[in-house]
Amino acid sequence: MNFIKSVFLVFIFSFFQLHSQTSANKKPELEVSFAKRTYSTTSVKNLDPIKIDGLIEDSAWNSVDWTSNFIEWEPDNSTPPSQQTKMKIVYDEKNLYVAFRCYESNPENIVQRMGRRDDFPGDWIELNIDSYNDDRTAFSFTTSVSGVKGDEFVSNNGNNWDSSWNPIWYVKTNIDDEGWTAELRIPLSQLRFSNAKDQVWGIQATRRYFSKEERSTWQPIPANPAGWVSSFGELRGLKDLEPQKQLEIQPYSVTKYKTYEEEPGNPYRDGKDGELTAGLDAKIGITNDLTLDLTINPDFGQVDADPGAVSLDGFEIFFQERRPFFVENKNIFDYRFGNSQDNLFFSRRIGRSPQGRAVGPGVVYADTPNNTTILGAAKFSGKTENGWTIGILESVTAKEYADVTNENGEESEVLVEPLTNYLVGRVQKDFNDRNSYIGTMFTATHRNIEEDLGFLHTQALSGGLDFKHNWKERTFYFEGNAVLSHVRGSEEAILNTQNSIVHLFQRVDADHVELDPNKTSLTGTGGRFEIGKGGGGKWRYNAGGKWISPELETNDIGFLRQADDIRQYIGVRRLFNESTNWFRRASIGVEQSSAFDFEGNYNRMQYELGAFINYKNNWWSEGGAAHKPRIFVNSFLRGGPRWRFNEENFWYLFSGTDQRKKLSFRLGYVHSQAKQDAFSLRRYVVGTKYQPLNSLNLSLDLEYEENPSKTQYIAERSFSNSARYILGDIDQETLSATLRVNYSINPNLSIQYYGQPFIFKADYSNLNYVLDPTAKDLNKRVSWYDSDQISFENDSYLIDENRDAVTDYTINNPDFAFVQFRSNLVARWEYIPGSEIFFVWSQGVTGLGDVNNKFSAIVDNQLLRQRPQNTFLIKATYRFIL
């Protein structure tokens, strides 16, 4: 406890140092509110059209006045900015036009860094449009001084920013003696608004002044507003606007060629493959509010490679969705419950790797597809003017077969994935002057089970209700949700679910669940509730709870890591909004949490401290510490009894230099230590970014981790008519490096490189077995084999536990080293707005190394000397706007 006491005293000292520094500068933080600003626009449809050239010289601009008086938001809130900004807005029957004048007394301070779309480099100006004026959603358009465009769909009052939204719009910028200017033309077809004769939209404009890393806004807002969109000003004067129904069709074609090392005798690995595919994406505006997205034979060839990872705990690794069709509007279908990754909808289930096995008796060679073919998908989504948010997603994946060759040379097909239908529905309704909402969600998975796929569910249904209420100008909130799931299938399928690592009904010491081999369905519940203060002033706090019943199952179309879990948490955070002479902003927080299972077992207690500070020179640091006096895990022994880990303390510290500089660095360290040296963690992170040219930037991130443990699970064996759980001392090391190179010739033409070698080593020794899984003392929890009980022959451990000179059970050598290298070289050309050509070269190496080798030898033998798989791809799209 001395360690935690010391850390706590350091945080308390830091807290009072920050507080006293603020007081010394006589800048007390107050509850600040600002009057809502209004800008009046006018129509220019009867005037000469505006030419988008960045010069703001067209006569139509004279129809309205400039609006200015931007106020600094960060770092010195509510003060005049270093450089002022002006804005004009006009419209015609098809477009909204926006002009910005960004003053700069010394034009040499303007930073014109180049990047690809959504990169936000250097100086930029941003316009947010809440065209429904619902205080929750907005369309964001950003342009840098170099002409790079960024666009995002904003939801949940600024808590979600979706950069996958790619509308068609136009911008030009220009630098002159007064600073720089930008002209924007935004087609009304890319926005969503009502058909009211006289409309009021919410608007906000934000300027980033790069030289001083300063943000100023047109509508003044407090340093930490309760909500972003609800803080907007108003755009008035929009009369007789006609909603524009969107109709876009985007066909594509892909040419792909692969080369790899030939496997003699394997008819499916002859060293090369080629294919030509085509498909179609479409976007149809059913109404001005609601859009239908369609995709036929979608191409996901542009998906970034998943980072290297190895899981030793048996749980599925969560990877982010990157496929454009599923990423766009994903906020509508987001329904999280339980832990942060638990969700009713996880779109990577659609098109997943086939779940069946082609390898079996007599099979010599097999060619199994990497992914299931998506025959088509449709998404109907949007938000109506009266506050209804609607989302429906339907997708069908094909039967998937693996080609196999038996020992007689005969070829055949094996079904590895059935024809499957996925359906997701989502509805939310705003009310109480948009301070509250209530919603529901429903998912359904239906499989046409054939042949040897009876281990899969035939049907999986889930649904839920969610709500949120804000009050006192959105300062306080109460939110929550509840979920229900029901899965059906054969006795084999439901038994597999009960036995899975997610559920573990077979746990030998669990009296509240029972493994039933005759069941053909499971029904479970889950949810969470939270209350807190989310805005206003300098304090934030929250308290809540979560539960997931043992029977809840959402992994057919959702993501659930572990069931049978009840959690409680409470947290308090202090914000330092006013900058001083040594920091720009800072925060300190503390959180307590505990966990139980549905049998009532008290499994976990944790206390955590965390802090962040952004220094005056834009360097930054963040750190924290935690104390875990109680750690019990139901899943550690894979169906065995509940396991106790030793008391643990950990701390971390990360710090970095000013990220605006052409050369910047980031360093980090994570330290965890359990009592009796039962396990530990040391993680070292080094990152650097370098921008030698405005058009070229490079980044390199290195990470090394040591995670030794005296009790890593290995296997279960039978001994003396009882289960024996075998553990071992593991020396676990991970090394990875991620290199990124971005060269932007202009905003529409860029070349990018991504490369990541990843090495994981697991070296086992000192095998032991479980005696008393919940004993506090490690030496009473396990027993180590004596030298006369264990021997090693033919890459296996032979165990003679009772010392009768007869082997009681064997353990295969668990040592392994996993090696992976992935890289992508992508040239992207947006030859006209919305239409692109990609040239891609991907390389990959995956294999196993020798755990006894050093990292340098593994890199040499398994990466440098292995022939990689190469993939060459050309993709072309053309976007028709009808």
Amino acid at position 416, single letter: V
277 pLDDT more than 50: yes
Query: Computed from CA positions of residues 308, 871, 850, 363, in that sequence, does the dihedral angle turn out positive or negative?
Result: positive
- Select the more confidently predicted residue: 329 or 707: 707
- Section 869-873 average pLDDT: 92
pLDDT attached to residue 504: 95
- Section 182-208 average pLDDT: 92
pLDDT attached to residue 11: 44
- Section 638-656 average pLDDT: 97
Count other C-beta atoms under 10 Å from residue 74's C-beta: 18
536 pLDDT more than 80: yes
10 pLDDT more than 90: no
- For 582-627, the pLDDT digits (tens) are 999 999 999 999 999 999 999 999 999 999 999 999 999 999 999 9
Most confident among 242-251, 373-382, 550-559 (mean pLDDT): 550-559
Alpha-carbon torsion, ordered 498, 502, 505, 511, to 10 deg: -150
724 pLDDT more than 50: yes
- Section 494-504 average pLDDT: 96
Going across the sheet that includes 363-367, the strands are 363-367, 400-406, 411-417
The three state secondary structure string of 364-426 is EEEECCCCCCEEEEEEEEEECCCCEEEEEEEEEECCEEEEEEECCCCEEEEEEECEEEEEEEE
- For 285-306, the pLDDT digits (tens) are 887 778 898 888 776 544 456 6
> What is the helix (H) or strand (E) element at residue 588, kind and residue range?
strand 583-596
The region of weakest confidence among 125-134, 258-267, 615-624, 670-679 is 258-267
Q: Which of 760, 784, 658, 652 lies closest to 711, judged by CA?
A: 784
pLDDT attached to residue 867: 84
Amino acid at position 512, single letter: H
- For 806-830, the pLDDT digits (tens) are 999 999 999 999 999 999 999 999 9
Residues 64 and 197 sit within 8 Å (Cβ to Cβ): no
149 pLDDT more than 80: yes
Token pair belonging to 765: 């020794």
- Section 77-105 average pLDDT: 96
The CA distance from 846 to 308, in Å, is 10
Indicate where the chain has its CATH 2.60.40.1190 domain(s): 31-239
- For 471-494, the pLDDT digits (tens) are 998 899 999 999 999 999 999 999
- Select the more confidently predicted residue: 395 or 299: 395
701 pLDDT more than 60: yes
Residue whose tokens read 């995002």: 152
- Select the more confidently predicted residue: 8 or 868: 868
Q: In sequence order, what are the beta bridge partners of 74?
A: 215
3-state helix, strand, coil in the chain (%, to 5): 10, 50, 40
Peptide bond into 267 cis (omega under 30): no
- Section 863-880 average pLDDT: 87
- Section 548-564 average pLDDT: 96
pLDDT attached to residue 3: 44
pLDDT band at 7 (very low <50, low <70, confident <90, very high): very low
Pick the CATH number of 31-239 from 3.40.50.360, 2.60.40.1190, 3.40.50.720, 3.30.70.260: 2.60.40.1190
Token pair belonging to 557: 């179309």
3 state DSSP class of 493: helix
pLDDT attached to residue 303: 43
- For 36-72, the pLDDT digits (tens) are 999 999 999 999 999 999 999 999 999 999 999 999 9
Residues 798 and 748 sit within 8 Å (Cβ to Cβ): no
The region of weakest confidence among 11-15, 88-92, 228-232, 574-578 is 11-15
Produce one character per residue of 386-413: b if its CB has 16 or more CB atoms within 10 Å, e if not.
Answer: eeebbbbbebbbebbbbbbbeeeeeeee
Residue whose tokens read 């993501």: 559
pLDDT attached to residue 300: 56
562 pLDDT more than 90: yes
- For 97-128, the pLDDT digits (tens) are 999 999 999 999 999 999 888 888 899 999 99
The CA distance from 154 to 473, in Å, is 20
- Section 554-581 average pLDDT: 94
3 state DSSP class of 188: helix
Residues 8 and 627 sit within 8 Å (Cβ to Cβ): no
The CA distance from 823 to 870, in Å, is 10
The region of weakest confidence among 171-175, 406-410, 458-462 is 406-410
The CA distance from 350 to 373, in Å, is 9
pLDDT attached to residue 4: 44
DSSP notation for 814-880: --EEEEEEEEEEEEEEEEETTEEEEEEEEEEEEEEE-TTS-HHHHIIIIIISSPPEEEEEEEEE--E
pLDDT band at 399 (very low <50, low <70, confident <90, very high): very high
pLDDT attached to residue 57: 94
- Section 351-357 average pLDDT: 92
Token pair belonging to 363: 């099979």
pLDDT band at 32 (very low <50, low <70, confident <90, very high): low
pLDDT attached to residue 22: 44
pLDDT attached to residue 202: 97
Q: Mean pLDDT over all residues of the chain? A: 91
Burial class (CB in 10 A: 0-12, 13-18, 19+), 823: middle
Token pair belonging to 150: 């960024």
3 state DSSP class of 608: strand
pLDDT attached to residue 15: 44
